[in-house]
Amino acid sequence: MGRLRVAVVGTGFMGSVHSRSATVAGGEVVGVVGSTPAKGREAAHRWGAGQGFDSIEDALRAGVDVVHVCTPNVTHAEFCRTALTAGVAVVCEKPLATDPATARELTELAAERGLVTAVPFVYRYYASIRDARARLAQPGHRPPWLVHGSYLQDWLADSGASNWRVDPAAGGATRAFGDIGVHWCDLAEFVTGQRITRVNAGFARSTDTRPSVDGTQVPVATEDGAVVLLQTDAGAVGSVVVSQASAGYKNALSLSLDGPDASYSFQQESPESLWIGGRDSNQVVMRDPSRPGAPVGRAAGLPSGHPQGYYESFADFVADTYAAIGGEEVPGLPTFADGLRAAQLSAAVVASAGSGAWVDVPQALRAA
């Protein structure tokens, strides 16, 4: 397979991450689509891409192999649908769609066309996460019965801060859970192999108003934080606390899996280590590809002592996606099926927060 020709739709932070990762993974970013032609050209210049396209249709006519969608949430479906209809593979930022029906439509469209798709649940790519997953999958290892943790940020802790995500017209009905809570849920399900079947959620806001684009104060309609109780298909129970307005927490995702044989704890801000708790002793296992039984894969190419971070994980995710486009079997690649899963979880959490009741989560088909 020759070098993949890549178009990036979106010129913000995530667009820059996708552009960088595409280049690291061996792709050629031939152009960028912005919300205006001028923004597309400016981003293309800034990222060293080929050109700024006026529209996604222009990018497709130029002949691209994969489109990365990194735009505000409510626009994802339109760009994905256009690329898939043209027979082009898609990498779409989450949420794949702001409602399950649209997410299912896109998942089925991609399957009908036989196209590779991906959604960047990139925390799967930390070697410590793969290590925990492999240990839990060992024959005879009893599964965790308690799954808990949190995902805390503070970029909206200031009541004067705002962002397009705050507006449900751009971000959808859920913000904190839909933006970062789905990352935690994806990680919990990926590591344990269990599926969340029921949720009971509560939403909260740290402030009732935030400034709009013109500076006027407008009511906040989406949650700053959420507390979600959960049950899984293996009989485990658990909880996750999510916040985008907790001062001092930058990107603090924590995942704890407690079982009768061993417990595991992962902290995203210290991704080089995995804490393993035992009845007689505890240990901290550092990432080391040379250790017998260490996870294999792209992360194994980075020697111990050279920290694997967010950029490396994202680039590994994109490299896996491009390998799948080239015809390779790639276990653990998060696809549109996982994006559909996230949409179903989000819808159930929103429904539960509105009613105060337990809500069942529909079970989408498992991704490969």
Task: Dig out the tokens for 130 from the structure.
Answer: 């793969």
- pLDDT > 90: what percent of the chain? 89
Long-range Cβ contact pairs of 203-212 (< 8 A, separation 24 or more): 203/177, 203/353, 206/156, 206/157, 206/159, 206/245, 207/159, 207/245, 209/159, 210/156, 210/159, 210/160, 210/161, 210/162, 210/166, 211/160, 211/162, 212/162
Determine phi and psi for 72, rounding to 5 degrees. -55, 150
201 beta partners: 228
Distance CA 242, CA 203 (A): 9
Q: What is the pLDDT of residue 133?
A: 97
Mean pLDDT of the chain: 95
Q: What is the pLDDT of residue 58?
A: 97
| Strand 252-258 with 359-360, pairing | unpaired
Is it the case that residue 121 has pLDDT exceeding 90?
Answer: yes
Distance CA 70, CA 83 (A): 13
The half-sphere exposure of 324 on its side-chain side, counting CA atoms within 13 A, is 22
Q: What is the pLDDT of residue 87?
A: 98
Distance CA 204, CA 220 (A): 11
Distance CA 165, CA 153 (A): 14
- pLDDT > 70: what percent of the chain? 98
Question: Please, are residues 209 and 186 in contact by the beta-carbon 8 Å criterion?
Answer: no
DSSP letters along 193-220, please? Answer: ---EEEEEEEEE-S-SEEE-TTS-EEE-
Task: Dig out the tokens for 243 from the structure.
Answer: 């916040």
Distance CA 19, CA 51 (A): 13
- Taking alpha carbons only, the member of 195, 126, 207 closest to residue 159 is 207
Q: What is the mean pLDDT of residues 83-107?
A: 97
pLDDT by residue (tens digit) across 7-49? 999 999 999 999 999 999 999 999 999 999 999 999 999 999 9
Q: What is the pLDDT of residue 1?
A: 58
Distance CA 15, CA 22 (A): 10
Q: What is the pLDDT of residue 274?
A: 97
Distance CA 73, CA 205 (A): 21
Q: What is the pLDDT of residue 368?
A: 43
For residue 237, give Cα distances in angstroms to 11, 40, 68: 40, 46, 36
Distance CA 14, CA 69 (A): 9
pLDDT: is 296 or 107 the higher one?
A: 107
Q: What is the pLDDT of residue 296?
A: 83
Question: Please, are residues 255 and 187 in contact by the beta-carbon 8 Å criterion?
Answer: yes
Is it the case that residue 364 has pLDDT exceeding 80?
Answer: no
pLDDT by residue (tens digit) across 295-352? 888 877 788 998 889 999 999 999 999 999 999 999 999 999 999 999 999 999 999 9
